[in-house]
């Protein structure tokens, strides 16, 4: 009981403290409180683990907790006041409509990742990626995803999943297989890979069922709220679509980077070398079956199951009756996505998000020009120190992300001197639109200086 | 490094849990045997290979994995390959039509040439028997750096060069067509009375140019050079040009086939009777011959007449009389101008050697050493008129002389085979008319710790410029190594000792 009060206090202190700081949104001032909260919920969760392999399972969760703390210290999460405030409103709706949820220990972190994903850690920690907030279109959809994650928590899926995998891994059957492999003189590696594959497939198959269970309970929680129920299906649809392509907005780089004093050069988008192979997907004679299992069928399966179980389609549509907090969240997310990719030096993604968001009027012209100029400055800096390849992968012939490939080809083809000229031309041409913007002026000065202007 | 797409709402748990099971992972691990780059004659990198041992099979067989990365470091193909347990991957090349691997088996005494087409399908293997003596010679020649085991002929085929144990040691050049043409062999005479070696250095869709060297015995220090030109379709000798010690001794560094169907030969010339490995050369030459062997031009630039007069002082401001230049490469630009790349060196007394000699009267130590200093680049016009010599400062390297009594030139040749020079390689970008000369420089810095740097001198738009990459982070936690990459790039390998993290990435050289 004492423990619960302790980390309830920590939980509240996170909310309060995060509301006070905006200086560094990656490392909050109350980092120690957050660490304390995570350790406390982890400890409580680990204390509750018993039975077979409990020490091994406890170690898995303990290690994971350490990884989460390191990830926070490595700026993998964003602590933004407005996003949190809007998310809290949504969560309050869900909790109020479902009093059976004991949400005192729950905390939703926002991960910087652009992968449209969310996760339940099993001990009260949840995370929602910026990529998911960016991908969904309404508060209703986000509410369903949150209900789904809470359902995982209520159904104790994390611990059950780990326990099941451990039981499989250390079962007599698996042990015998491993012993048999060890006795084998020939073909041991292939045999071991085959066992790993079987275990992986079992986990993935189990995961399909588990996701469907979380959908069902999640939908029950969701249907207790005032959110529009068919949006549960549209949320799933969006997650299915993103598997095909995330970055589909056309990147007209030859117009974005074409200036009167420094016109765009066609060779910046030319691929000069010949590929070793004339193939459209990777060939791997050692690929495991489990590696090729896609998430598509799972989403289709889950959607159909949800429709059968709850007859969602025929449900009467309700009118939207309140302010959509996801729209509010997305205003910040649009900026955060650009800033976070820029801060991480993922300049290919930063350019994509700047162009896409500017063209779709999600960010204003001043923010667009400021960050595009900053991107060019950063590009110059990481090229000069021979670090660009660490952050921006080269074009891949196997990637479906053609627009992203185009940006990568462009960035890799640019020479340092060309970035110098490009940055100067960009600032010079857009400077009249950016009067009184000190940050832009600084970037302009930087390019002026290296261009000896 | 970054995964963009995993669109699934998950309860946090992943298959990586399997990684907890140590013994399974240990059994399923692939053991790396070797790795390398697929490099063409311009030192352009087409991709990278990794050769792993996967499994032990019956009858002393092994399953191997050959993993191929494209020149953007993307994994493209991982093929299973089954062969004898003693098989090693000796070389690999790409000719735009196929990939060829030279697999070597010491125990079975053979090379196996394994080809994969552009769909990743394995072709028919070619077996080339090779005995122990031949193997030793191939090893020795490979170490000398003047031996292309496999040479790709773009859009045509591959040349496989090896040694034959004839009456004396000879050579065999095997051409394997990949364009549907005829494959052939060109061998040195079985009854030749000299040791003969061949190195194919240039080929196009018409001819193969190879450098033949011959000497009477292993200990003989007189080497005669000959250029031979073969018809690529038939393997028939079109012509040969001899550069023997008695009449016309020359050390040929490079050969180029031009669009105008001429052959340009570049190198150093000597006085009649001079030994090209021992004597000081008289100067540099460029010779142009047509594909029938007719000499069209032979331009020479002498040390005393021209070079010495315009040779700038060393980077420390001193002009030394006994300084030599070791030429590593000669590049012909698309404009027809030439650039000779070399390093300055001189014979000096080794303090360590003298002290060692004093301590050990039986010998074993060299009292002299070669001190290798600046990079020099000679610039010639299209008529081989020397226009300029540029000196690029580089830290001193010292290498103990192989023998105190030999000439500095002989020692330099010997030390070159041991990798004593700082020069790494030159890449030529014919498309953009650029070249990149790469070397390692040990910088002695005032007020801070000395650092090794990978330095590149680049030629672009008629100008030479420099770029450098330091090979260790200031705190010393991360070690860097630089490998060849596609034109105008380097592949950086960073190893973080503390985190045991290995990262590879491509970086463009800054012009």
ipTM of the complex: 0.84
A420 domain-assigned: yes
What's the rounded Cα separation, in Å, for the pair A286 and A197? 11
**Residue B53's closest CA among B23, B83, B77?**
B83
What's the rounded Cα separation, in Å, for the pair A276 and A397? 11
- Residue A192 sits at the chain B interface (C-beta within 8 Å): yes
Break chain B into its structural domains and give their ranges. Answer: 422-511
Residues of A in contact with B63 (CB under 8 A): 187, 189-190
Please say whether the beta carbons of A104 and A42 come within 8 A.
no
A339 domain-assigned: no
Indicate the SS3 state at residue B410.
helix
Backbone angles phi, psi at A8, to 5 degrees: -65, -40
Inter-chain touch A158–B120, beta carbons under 8 Å: no
Inter-chain touch B17–A203, beta carbons under 8 Å: yes
B401: which DSSP letter?
-
Inter-chain touch B505–A389, beta carbons under 8 Å: yes
Question: Mind giving me the DSSP string for B295-362?
Answer: EEEEEEEEIIIIIHHHPPPPTTS---TT-EEEEEEEEE-TTS-EEEEEEEEEEEE-HHHHHHHHH-TT
Inter-chain touch A394–B55, beta carbons under 8 Å: no
- Residue A341: CB partners within 8 Å, gap ≥ 6? A114, A347, A349, A350, A353
Please say whether the beta carbons of A253 and A375 come within 8 A.
no
Inter-chain touch A185–B56, beta carbons under 8 Å: yes
pLDDT tens column, B296-348: 999 999 989 888 888 888 888 888 777 888 888 889 898 889 999 989 888 77
- Residue B496 sits at the chain A interface (C-beta within 8 Å): no
Domain containing residue A371: 253-276+344-450
Helix axes A157-169, A188-223, angle to 10 degrees: 160
A175 and A300 within one domain: yes
A103 domain-assigned: yes
What's the rounded Cα separation, in Å, for the pair B49 and B91? 10
Q: Which residue of B has its CA nearest to A194?
A: B28
A33 and A180 within one domain: yes
Q: Name which of A165, A210, A398 is nearest B74 (Cβ-Cβ).
A: A398
Q: Which residue of A has its CA nearest to B27?
A: A189
Residue window 219-248, chain A: list those with CB within 8 Å of chain B. 239-240, 242-243, 246
Residue window 100-159, chain B: list those with CB within 8 Å of chain A. 118-120
Model pLDDT, residue B503: 85
Specify whether the backbone of B219 is left (phi greater than 0), alpha (psi in -120 to 50) or beta: alpha
Residues of B in contact with A337 (CB under 8 A): none
Please say whether the beta carbons of A414 and A379 come within 8 A.
yes
A196 and A63 within one domain: yes
pLDDT tens column, A383-425: 999 999 999 999 998 888 899 999 999 999 999 999 999 999 9
A306 and A391 within one domain: no
A257 and A199 within one domain: no
Inter-chain touch A389–B118, beta carbons under 8 Å: no
Residues of A in contact with B71 (CB under 8 A): 273
Q: How far is A299 from chain B (nearest CA, A)?
A: 8
Residues of B in contact with A208 (CB under 8 A): none
Residue B167 scores a pLDDT above 70: yes
Q: How far is A6 from chain B (nearest CA, A)?
A: 26
Measured CA angle at B297 (ends B295, B302), to 5 deg: 125
**Residue B218's closest CA among B147, B273, B169?**
B169
Please say whether the beta carbons of B261 and B206 come within 8 A.
yes
**How would you classify the pairing of strands B75-84 and B250-257?**
unpaired
What's the rounded Cα separation, in Å, for the pair B502 and A7? 39
Please say whether the beta carbons of B245 and B222 come within 8 A.
yes
A355 and A224 within one domain: no
Model pLDDT, residue B357: 53
- Residue B257: CB partners within 8 Å, gap ≥ 6? B202, B203, B204, B206, B207, B209, B263, B264
Residues of A in contact with B5 (CB under 8 A): 115, 242-243, 246
A336 domain-assigned: no
Model pLDDT, residue B367: 64
A71 and A22 within one domain: yes
Model pLDDT, residue A311: 79
Tokens of A200: 């992986």
A32 domain-assigned: yes
Model pLDDT, residue B113: 97
Q: Which of A26-42 are b and which e, b meaning 16 or more Cβ less than 10 Å from the residue's Cβ?
A: bebebeebbbbbbbbbb
Termini Cα distance of chain A: 68
Tokens of A157: 């899926």
Strand order in the sheet with B489-496: B478-484, B489-496, B501-508
CB count, 10 Å around CB of B505?
A: 22
Domain count, chain A: 2
Residue window 154-173, chain A: list those with CB within 8 Å of chain B. 157-158, 161-162, 165-166, 169
Q: Report the mean per-residue pLDDT for chain B.
A: 84
- Residue B54 sits at the chain A interface (C-beta within 8 Å): yes
What's the rounded Cα separation, in Å, for the pair B83 and B91? 16
Most confident of A70-84, B339-353, B392-406, B447-461: A70-84
SS3 letters for chain A? CHHHHHHHHHHHHHHHHHHHCCCCCCCCCCHHHHHHHHHHHHHHHHHCCCCCCHHHHHHHHHHHHHHHHHHHHCCCEECCHHHHHHHHHHHHHHHHHCCCCCHHHCEEEEECCCCCCEEECCCCEEEEEHHHHHHCCCHHHHHHHHHHHHHHHHCCHHHHHHHHHHHHHCCHHHHHHHHHHHHCCCCHHHHHHHHHHHHHHHHHHHHHHHHHHHHHHHHHHHHCCCCCCCHHHHHHHHHHHCCCCCCCCCCCHHHHCCCCCCCCCHHHHCCCCCCCCCCCCCEECCCCHHHHCCCHHHHHHHHHHHHHHHCCCCCCCCCCCCCCHHHHHHHHHHHHHHHHHHHCCCHHHHHHHHHHHHHCCCCCHHHHHHHHHHHHHHHHHHHHCCCHHHHCCCCCCCCCCHHHHHHHHHHHHCCHHHHHHHHHHHHHHHHHHHCCCHHHHHHHHHHHHHCCC
Strand order in the sheet with B75-84: A283-284, B75-84, B61-70, B45-56, B31-39
Residue B507 scores a pLDDT above 60: yes
Q: Name which of A196, A397, A401 is nearest B24 (Cβ-Cβ).
A: A196
Q: How far is A335 from chain B (nearest CA, A)?
A: 19
SS3 letters for A29-71? CCHHHHHHHHHHHHHHHHHCCCCCCHHHHHHHHHHHHHHHHHH
Residues of A in contact with B78 (CB under 8 A): 282-286
Tokens of A8: 């309830």
User: Which residues lie across from B151 on neighbouring strands?
Assistant: B159
A263 and A302 within one domain: no
pLDDT tens column, A105-125: 899 999 998 888 899 999 999
Inter-chain touch B55–A189, beta carbons under 8 Å: yes
Indicate the SS3 state at residue B288.
strand
Q: Which residue of B has its CA nearest to A382?
A: B507
Rounded alpha-carbon distances, angstroms, from residue B64 to B7, B57, B80, B81, B243: 34, 10, 6, 5, 46
Q: Name which of B15, B57, B71 is nearest A200 (Cβ-Cβ).
A: B15
Termini Cα distance of chain B: 27
pLDDT tens column, B179-231: 999 999 999 999 888 999 999 989 999 999 999 989 888 878 788 889 999 99
Residue window 15-34, chain B: list those with CB within 8 Å of chain A. 15, 17-18, 20-21, 23-24, 27-30
Residue B460 scores a pLDDT above 80: yes
Residue B418 scores a pLDDT above 90: no
Per-residue pLDDT of chain A (453 residues; tens, 9 = 90+): 333 333 333 333 333 333 333 447 888 888 999 999 999 999 999 999 998 889 999 999 999 999 999 999 988 999 999 999 999 999 999 999 999 999 988 999 999 988 888 999 999 999 999 999 988 989 999 999 999 999 999 999 999 999 998 898 889 999 899 999 989 999 999 999 999 899 888 888 888 889 999 999 999 999 999 999 999 999 988 877 655 567 889 999 999 999 999 999 999 999 877 789 999 899 999 988 887 765 555 888 888 899 989 877 655 555 555 568 888 899 999 999 999 999 999 999 999 999 999 999 999 999 999 999 999 999 999 999 999 999 999 999 888 889 999 999 999 999 999 999 999 999 999 999 999 999 999 999 999 999 987
Confidence bin at B13 (pLDDT 50/70/90): very low
Please say whether the beta carbons of B412 and B324 come within 8 A.
yes
- Residue B132: CB partners within 8 Å, gap ≥ 6? B109
A281 domain-assigned: no
A257 and A239 within one domain: no
């Amino acid at each position: 009981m004492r423990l619960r009060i302790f980390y309830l206090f920590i939980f509240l202190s996170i909310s309060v403290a995060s509301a006070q700081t905006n200086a560094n949104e990656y490392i909050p001032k109350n980092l120690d409180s957050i660490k304390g909260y995570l350790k406390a919920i982890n400890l409580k969760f680990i204390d509750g683990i018993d039975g077979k392999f409990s020490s091994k399972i406890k170690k898995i969760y303990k290690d994971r907790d350490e990884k989460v703390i390191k990830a926070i210290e490595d700026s993998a999460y964003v602590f933004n006041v407005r996003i949190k405030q809007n998310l809290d409103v949504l969560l309050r709706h869900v909790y109020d409509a479902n009093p059976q949820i004991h949400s005192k220990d729950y905390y939703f972190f926002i991960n910087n990742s652009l992968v449209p994903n969310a996760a339940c850690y099993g001990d009260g920690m949840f995370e929602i990626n910026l990529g998911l907030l960016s991908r969904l279109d309404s508060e209703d959809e986000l509410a369903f995803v949150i209900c789904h994650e809470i359902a995982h928590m209520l159904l104790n899926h994390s611990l059950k999943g780990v326990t099941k995998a451990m039981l499989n891994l250390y079962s007599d059957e698996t042990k015998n297989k491993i012993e048999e492999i060890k006795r084998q003189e020939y073909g041991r590696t292939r045999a071991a890979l085959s066992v790993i594959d079987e275990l992986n497939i079992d986990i993935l198959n189990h995961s399909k069922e588990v996701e469907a269970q979380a959908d069902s309970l999640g939908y029950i929680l969701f249907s207790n709220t005032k959110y529009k129920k068919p949006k549960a299906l549209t949320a799933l649809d969006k997650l299915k679509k993103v598997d095909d392509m995330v970055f589909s907005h056309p990147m007209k780089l030859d117009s974005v980077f074409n200036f009167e004093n420094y016109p765009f050069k066609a060779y910046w988008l030319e691929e000069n070398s010949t590929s070793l192979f004339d193939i459209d997907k990777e060939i791997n004679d050692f690929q495991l079956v489990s590696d090729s299992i896609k998430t598509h069928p799972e989403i289709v399966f889950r959607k159909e199951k949800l429709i059968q179980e709850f007859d969602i389609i025929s449900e009467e549509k309700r009118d939207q009756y309140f302010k959509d907090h996801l729209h509010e969240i997305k205003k910040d997310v649009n900026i955060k996505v650009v800033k976070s990719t820029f801060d991480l030096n993922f300049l290919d993604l930063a350019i994509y998000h700047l162009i896409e968001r500017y063209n779709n009027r999600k960010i204003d012209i001043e923010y667009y020009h400021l960050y595009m100029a900053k991107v060019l400055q950063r590009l110059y800096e990481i090229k000069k120190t021979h670090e660009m390849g660490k952050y921006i992968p080269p074009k891949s012939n196997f990637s479906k992300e053609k627009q992203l490939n185009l940006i990568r080809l462009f960035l890799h083809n640019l020479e340092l001197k060309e970035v110098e000229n490009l940055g100067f031309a960009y600032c010079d041409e857009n400077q009249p639109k950016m009067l009184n913007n000190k940050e832009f002026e600084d970037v302009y000065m930087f390019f002026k200086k290296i261009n000896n202007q | 490094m970054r995964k963009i797409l995993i669109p699934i709402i998950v309860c946090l748990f992943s298959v990586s849990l399997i990684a907890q099971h140590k013994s399974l992972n240990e059994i399923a691990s692939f053991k790396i045997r070797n790795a390398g780059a697929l490099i063409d004659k311009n030192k352009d990198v087409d991709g990278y290979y990794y050769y792993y041992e996967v499994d032990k099979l019956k009858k002393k067989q092994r399953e191997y994995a050959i993993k191929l990365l494209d020149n953007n470091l993307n994994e493209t193909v991982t093929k299973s390959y089954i062969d004898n347990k003693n098989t090693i991957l000796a070389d690999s090349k790409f000719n735009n039509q196929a990939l060829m691997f030279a697999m070597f088996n010491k125990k079975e005494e053979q090379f196996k040439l394994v080809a994969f087409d552009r769909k990743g399908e394995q072709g028919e293997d070619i077996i080339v028997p090779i005995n122990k003596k031949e193997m030793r010679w191939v090893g020795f020649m490979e170490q000398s750096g003047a031996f292309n085991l496999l040479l790709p002929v773009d859009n045509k085929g591959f040349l496989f060069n090896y040694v034959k144990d004839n009456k004396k040691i000879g050579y065999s050049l095997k051409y394997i067509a990949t364009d549907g043409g005829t494959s052939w062999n060109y061998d040195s005479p079985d009854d030749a009375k000299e040791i003969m070696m061949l190195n194919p250095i240039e080929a196009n869709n018409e001819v193969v140019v190879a450098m033949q060297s011959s000497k009477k015995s292993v200990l003989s220090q007189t080497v005669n050079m000959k250029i031979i030109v073969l018809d690529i379709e038939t393997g028939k000798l079109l012509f040969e040009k001899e550069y023997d010690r008695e009449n016309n001794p020359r050390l040929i560094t490079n050969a180029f086939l031009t669009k105008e169907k001429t052959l340009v030969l570049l190198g150093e010339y000597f006085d009649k009777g001079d030994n090209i490995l021992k004597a000081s050369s008289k100067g540099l030459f460029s010779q142009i011959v047509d594909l029938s062997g007719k000499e069209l031009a032979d331009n020479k630039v002498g040390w005393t007449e021209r070079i010495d007069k315009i040779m700038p002082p060393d980077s420390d401001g001193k002009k030394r009389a006994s300084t030599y230049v070791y030429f590593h490469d000669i590049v012909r630009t698309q404009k027809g101008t030439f650039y000779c790349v070399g390093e300055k060196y001189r014979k000096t007394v080794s303090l360590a050697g003298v002290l060692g000699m004093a301590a050990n009267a039986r010998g074993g130590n060299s009292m002299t050493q070669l001190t290798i200093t600046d990079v020099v680049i000679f610039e010639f016009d299209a008529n081989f008129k020397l226009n300029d010599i540029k000196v690029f400062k580089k830290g001193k390297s010292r290498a103990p002389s192989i023998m105190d009594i030999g000439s500095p030139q002989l020692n330099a040749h010997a030390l070159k085979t041991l990798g004593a020079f700082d020069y790494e390689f030159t890449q030529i970008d014919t498309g953009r008319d650029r070249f990149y000369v790469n070397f390692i420089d040990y910088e002695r810095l005032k007020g801070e710790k000395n650092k090794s740097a990978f330095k590149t001198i680049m030629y672009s738009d008629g100008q030479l410029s420099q770029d450098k990459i330091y090979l260790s982070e200031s705190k010393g936690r991360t070690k860097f190594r630089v490998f060849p990459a596609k034109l105008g790039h380097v592949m950086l390998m960073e190893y973080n000792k503390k985190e045991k993290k290995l990262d590879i990435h491509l970086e463009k050289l800054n012009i």
